[in-house]
Amino acid sequence: MDSQDFPGWHGTTIIGVRKGGKVVVAGDGQVSLGQTVIKGTARKVRRLSPGGQDVICGFAGSTADAFTLLERLEAKLEATPGQLARACVELAKDWRTDKYLQKLEAMLIVTDGTDLLVVTGAGDVLEPEHDVAAIGSGGNFALAAARGMMDSDKDAETVARDAMAIAADICVYTNGKLTVESITP
């Protein structure tokens, strides 16, 4: 079977929202293979605590690839305590230049409560504008919804949850079973 014939793993929506001194990362639980939902309760948002640091990561893409990246990020954080941006840049450099890592298909949203970053396999470490970052198949829907709510009275968690609900209503690869983690610097 040619890899282009294989339907592939789809889906995930991850959002990070910074508002009112708090950062919330939320992710849906759906894993799909083609048009079939394989699992509805996957946990795609995780808390890491390397060397006593508190970091939240959300991932979109291949689960095995994401776990590989999370392990690498944890090692980078241990090597550069308290320097999330530096650890992410080091991870992105390795991801872009290492032949093994180049094949990994995932994206990360990472926060320590101060920085909110998107890390990609293209070597990007991006700090989003408007204090909202979103990745995955429903990411643009969640991003648009959250940006529309940022001037409201809603707190970071409510914005993230409401944006994810909108994304789940639009994106067939996103469901409403959320994992939500928050952090305050």
List the catalytic residue out of 12, 13, 111, 174.
Answer: 12
pTM of the model: 0.91
Q: Between 165 and 49, whose confidence is greater?
A: 165
Please report whether residue 127 resides in a domain. yes
Please report whether residue 1 resides in a domain. no
Please report whether residue 125 resides in a domain. yes
Q: At 116, which CATH number?
A: 3.60.20.10
* Number of domains making up the chain: 1
pLDDT of residue 1: 36
Buried-state track 78-97, b at ≥16 Cβ within 10 A, e below 16: eebeebbeebbbbbbebbee
Reported as a single tens digit per residue, the pLDDT across 69-128 is 889 899 999 999 999 999 999 999 888 887 767 777 788 999 999 999 999 878 899 999
| Banded model confidence at residue 10, pLDDT cuts 50, 70, 90 | low
Domain that holds residue 60: 9-173
Tokens of 20: 């009112």
For residue 12, indicate whether it is catalytic: yes
